[in-house]
Structure 1
Amino acid sequence: MGLGKTLSTLTAIADLQLLEDLGKVLIVAPLAVARNTWPDEIHKWDSTKGLSYSTILGSAQQRSAALQQTTDLYITNRENVPWLVEYYGRKWPFKTVVIDELSSFKSPQAKRFKALRKVRPLMHRVIGLTGTPAPNSLMDLWPQMYLLDRGTRLGLTIGDYRRTYFHPGMQSGYVVYNWVLNPGADKTIYDRIGDITISMQSKELLDLPPRTDNIVQVEMTPKETEQYKQLQKDYVLPELGDDGVTASNAAVLANKLLQLANGAIYDDDGKTIKVHDHKLDALANIIDEAQGQSVLVFYQFKHDAERILKKFPQAKRLDTGSDDVHRWNAGKIPMLLAQPQSAGHGLNLQAGGHIIVWFGLTWSLEYYQQANARLMRQGQTQPVIVHHIITKDTIDERVMTVLQGKARGQAALLNAVKAQLGE
């Protein structure tokens, strides 16, 4: 992350065009990255300014019109992939395809993967870019590698891949709940894909400023703690909202507990119930200490953003369809709110600030790492500070442990819930 994959790819395309016929070139990226990052990088560098492009975004009519243009690059978002495949069918025109954030194609059941798989034989060259290739486990690699080599290295099906490199973990009869990597299988997998993979780490190649991780702990009142424990134990809080708050299963409970730790929670009718302002007060202290420097705040739930916006009039929620990215990098937005799911990949925000605040945590290590890399990347000139506002004796502490690398993924979060229930 942060090593300039976009620029490297654009430069390679510009150079290759002088040597061979690349045909039509398609770039698939997250929406914000397709709209902002790729066009910005094309305009920014002398080596890529000569590349023309068309963005395949907006309504179906706008996308169709953009496809009619004669240009070097066609840039679209990953959600449009099924539409694009259906639009062209067997007349797929793109010989060269770049998949930015290849890890977002890690599910073999996803429509976007199935659509690209259908037209993969019609592509001559496929390039995949990602800073987090296996965010949950090496099981995530098979769909990504299949789009590159059509199963040559890791097997023609996910079943082949599983049977070769994994064995069943938890299971009930014929139902397997998780797969465990065979001893030494990781090295075998790395060897198999090594000839078409370039792996680099920014800490080895760039002289980046230091990063400081800071834990800002807040504490709930005895009454609030009692409410938290009741929800944790009984999956229900009858006294909150008109109809109370209930959690139907462990996954829902995990989200409800995270909301409660943040200071507000949705009741059964979807209404926001405010419980406390401890994290808002901690955020106010961080803003004061920043002394006018811009701050990037990551939130998880909509009611978090709404409460932050109400308390801090200078704050602006990131709209990737506007010029917010440019305004932030120009120092015109003092406090930018972003959700890691939508802003955690590909956006260049390092010019606008060096202070991150996690108001609400995400269980996803991929989203966490990618979000922090929006500032901790090439071009950053100041030491990066990452504040984590943690509510004491809540699931926040468990999630922080997950993110620190002692465990991974959604399963780890659910295990954290079970651990708290056990206590």
Structure 2
Amino acid sequence: MEFKPHDYQTMCIDRIVKDKSVGLFLDMGLGKTIITLSAIMELKDRLDIFRVLVIAPKKVAESTWTTESKKWEHTKDLKISKVLGSAKERIAAINQAADIYITNRDNVAWLCQTLGRKWFFDMVVVDESSSFKNPQAMRFKALKRTLPFVNRLIALTGTPNPKSMEDLWSQIYLLDRGERLGEYVTHYRTRYFTKDYSGFGYTLKPGAKEAITKKISDICISLKAKDYLELPSIVYNEIPVELDKKALKAYQELEKNMVLSLEESEITAVSAGVLTNKLSQCANGAIYDEDKVVNHIHDCKLERFTELVEELNGESALVFYNFKHDKDRILKALEKSGLEVREFKSPKDEEDWNKGKIDILLAHPASTAYGINLQYGGRNIIWFSLPWSYELYAQANARLFRQGQEKPVIVHELLCTDTVDHDIKKSLSEKGQNQEDVLRALKARLGKE
């Protein structure tokens, strides 16, 4: 596919090429990944860089960058090595010849220690730099020690300071090594904050927010995309999810044989329609047997979901699920998150959501199809799995994308690679009304095999 950048994307690409350190603080769905990949291509063409390190959340590192690079004509030939897995696998990946090396943030300390002065990356991209907001974290300290060997650094995030301007110091330090906000976080706090009544928290001094913003404005493209960009009213953000080997094997066994043997039960699909339903469940990570007992398969999509919630950095999200076991697993995964998580059940939930009292609101698309107004409580929709019905899909999105919504709505769709998820998405994109298109796509794929 040919990449035709929007004006704001061209502006961002030019800044990355021109400046050795840039904070690209744009909303999700606006193309931070392809912007960065395009800039990498241009810098490589100029022979300014040869090897790039991308640091990202685990599930993002597994699939997002690879999927995005293969999607576009000008980036499809980039060689990518994933520095993931066991120590042996990571070392093997480092020793491979590649253009881009991708690792997850939990491996940063290991990577910095392993390479030491033999650091060979010309450019470092920190995807979701807000995960480096804690100056006491090992990942930040390790990367900080490596900065003398880093020639170019790009920080990507949608919300650099979700809860407090305190979160900015370490992210900006990675870009300028303390030039703008000070070399020490203690000095930064003293200059711009006062301790609150508890003695542990900090509040901004009068005028401090404006002063901080002015200080970093030359190194960050924007703190808020809406200040600079003419945004579309709704953005569809497809998020690839890579199944691990065990999960993919189970999925392919079910797809090919219409039977999946598990430890405690056997899953059988008696027709193509039943098979697509079972495959959808399998991609999500759990599946019902004939006795309606839930059988756990994997947590790949659930892990990517929790990473996405973290990436929202405090922004609320309306989450749609298709199967009850999906809802139950999501609720369990968020138990210790500290977020206000609630299942949509009554008008009280609608009222509390619109008042900003709920962080994550779970709903089945059929339960919110008509007459529910949720546009005042947030702008993010997350589809844990897509529905068969275009009508349900469109009506569910319309809970936020409707009159009274003051911000661009972002629809995040979790899609497992090489699964029925993409057949459903294609059907919805073509405004399919039922399962027929999905069944045809499934039969076509099985026929090719």
What letter corresponds to residue 16 of structure 1 in structure 2?
A: L
The size of the alignment, in residue pairs, is 275
Decide which of 153, 163, 166 is 2:190's aligned counterpart.
Answer: 163
Which residue is 1:84 aligned to?
111
What letter corresponds to residue 194 of structure 1 in structure 2?
A: S
Residues 191 and 20 of structure 1: is their aligned pair in 2 closer, same or farther, counting only changes over 3 Å? farther
In 1: Cα distance, 2:162 partner to 2:291 partner: 35
- Kindly indicate whether the alpha-carbon contact (under 8 Å) linking 2:287 and 2:296 is maintained by their aligned counterparts in 1: no
Decide which of 319, 327, 332 is 1:356's aligned counterpart.
Answer: 319
Give the C-alpha shift of residue 341 in structure 1: 2.6
What is the RMSD of the two structures over their aligned residues, measured on CA atoms? 4.3
Which residue is 2:225 aligned to?
201
- Kindly indicate whether the alpha-carbon contact (under 8 Å) linking 1:153 and 1:193 is maintained by their aligned counterparts in 2: yes
- Residue 357 of structure 2 corresponds to residue 401 of structure 1: yes
Decide which of 120, 124, 128 is 1:101's aligned counterpart.
Answer: 128
What letter corresponds to residue 46 of structure 1 in structure 2?
A: E
- Residue 167 of structure 2 corresponds to residue 140 of structure 1: yes
- Kindly indicate whether the alpha-carbon contact (under 8 Å) linking 2:60 and 2:304 is maintained by their aligned counterparts in 1: no
Residues 15 and 111 of structure 1: is their aligned pair in 2 closer, same or farther, counting only changes over 3 Å? same
- Kindly indicate whether the alpha-carbon contact (under 8 Å) linking 2:288 and 2:294 is maintained by their aligned counterparts in 1: no
In 2: Cα distance, 1:309 partner to 1:137 partner: 47
Which residue is 2:369 aligned to?
none
Mind listing any 5+ residue stretches in structure 1 that lack a counterpart?
Answer: 212-291, 300-304, 325-336, 348-353, 372-386, 407-423
- Kindly indicate whether the alpha-carbon contact (under 8 Å) linking 1:98 and 1:128 is maintained by their aligned counterparts in 2: yes
In 2: Cα distance, 1:119 partner to 1:189 partner: 26
Residues 312 and 147 of structure 1: is their aligned pair in 2 closer, same or farther, counting only changes over 3 Å? farther
Which residue is 2:152 aligned to?
125
Mind listing any 5+ residue stretches in structure 2 that lack a counterpart?
Answer: 1-27, 237-276, 322-326, 360-375, 379-449
Decide which of 383, 386, 389 is 2:344's aligned counterpart.
Answer: 389
Q: Give the ranges of 4+ consecutive aligned residues of structure 1 lying more than 4 Å apart after TM superposition.
A: 305-318, 337-340, 358-368, 390-394, 396-400
TM-score by length of 1: 0.56
Residues 314 and 131 of structure 1: is their aligned pair in 2 closer, same or farther, counting only changes over 3 Å? farther
- CA offsets per residue over residues 218-239 of structure 1, 9 Å max, x none? xxxxxxxxxxxxxxxxxxxxxx
In 2: Cα distance, 1:156 partner to 1:2 partner: 33
In 1: Cα distance, 2:41 partner to 2:343 partner: 42
In 1: Cα distance, 2:344 partner to 2:291 partner: 17
Residues 16 and 165 of structure 1: is their aligned pair in 2 closer, same or farther, counting only changes over 3 Å? same
SS in 1 for 2:172: helix
- CA offsets per residue over residues 364-412 of structure 1, 9 Å max, x none? 99989xx9xxxxxxxxxxxxxxx95268989x95995164889xxxxxx
Residues 309 and 159 of structure 1: is their aligned pair in 2 closer, same or farther, counting only changes over 3 Å? farther
Instruction: Tell which deviates more after alignment, 202-211 or 141-150.
Output: 202-211
Residues 61 and 316 of structure 1: is their aligned pair in 2 closer, same or farther, counting only changes over 3 Å? same
Residues 45 and 364 of structure 1: is their aligned pair in 2 closer, same or farther, counting only changes over 3 Å? farther
- Kindly indicate whether the alpha-carbon contact (under 8 Å) linking 1:135 and 1:365 is maintained by their aligned counterparts in 2: no
Decide which of 47, 53, 56 is 1:29's aligned counterpart.
Answer: 56
What letter corresponds to residue 356 of structure 1 in structure 2?
A: V
What letter corresponds to residue 148 of structure 2 in structure 1?
A: P
Decide which of 306, 316, 334 is 1:341's aligned counterpart.
Answer: 306
In 1: Cα distance, 2:99 partner to 2:85 partner: 20
What letter corresponds to residue 230 of structure 2 in structure 1?
A: L
In 1: Cα distance, 2:60 partner to 2:339 partner: 15
Give the C-alpha shift of residue 309 in structure 1: 10
- Residue 57 of structure 2 corresponds to residue 39 of structure 1: no
Which residue is 1:225 aligned to?
none
For 1:3-402, list aligned pairs within 5 A.
Answer: 3-171=30-198, 176-199=199-222, 201=225, 204-209=229-234, 319-320=299-300, 340-344=305-309, 356-357=319-320, 389=344, 400-401=356-357
What letter corresponds to residue 201 of structure 1 in structure 2?
A: A
SS in 1 for 2:160: coil
- Kindly indicate whether the alpha-carbon contact (under 8 Å) linking 2:287 and 2:297 is maintained by their aligned counterparts in 1: no
- Kindly indicate whether the alpha-carbon contact (under 8 Å) linking 2:161 and 2:167 is maintained by their aligned counterparts in 1: yes
SS in 2 for 1:195: coil
In 1: Cα distance, 2:295 partner to 2:218 partner: 47
Give the C-alpha shift of residue 206 in structure 1: 3.6
What letter corresponds to residue 341 of structure 1 in structure 2?
A: T
In 1: Cα distance, 2:203 partner to 2:289 partner: 44
In 1: Cα distance, 2:288 partner to 2:201 partner: 39
SS in 2 for 1:11: helix
In 1: Cα distance, 2:180 partner to 2:72 partner: 36
SS in 1 for 2:221: coil
Residues 96 and 2 of structure 1: is their aligned pair in 2 closer, same or farther, counting only changes over 3 Å? same
In 2: Cα distance, 1:158 partner to 1:88 partner: 27
Residues 310 and 50 of structure 1: is their aligned pair in 2 closer, same or farther, counting only changes over 3 Å? same
Residues 47 and 307 of structure 1: is their aligned pair in 2 closer, same or farther, counting only changes over 3 Å? closer
- Percent identity between the aligned chains? 40
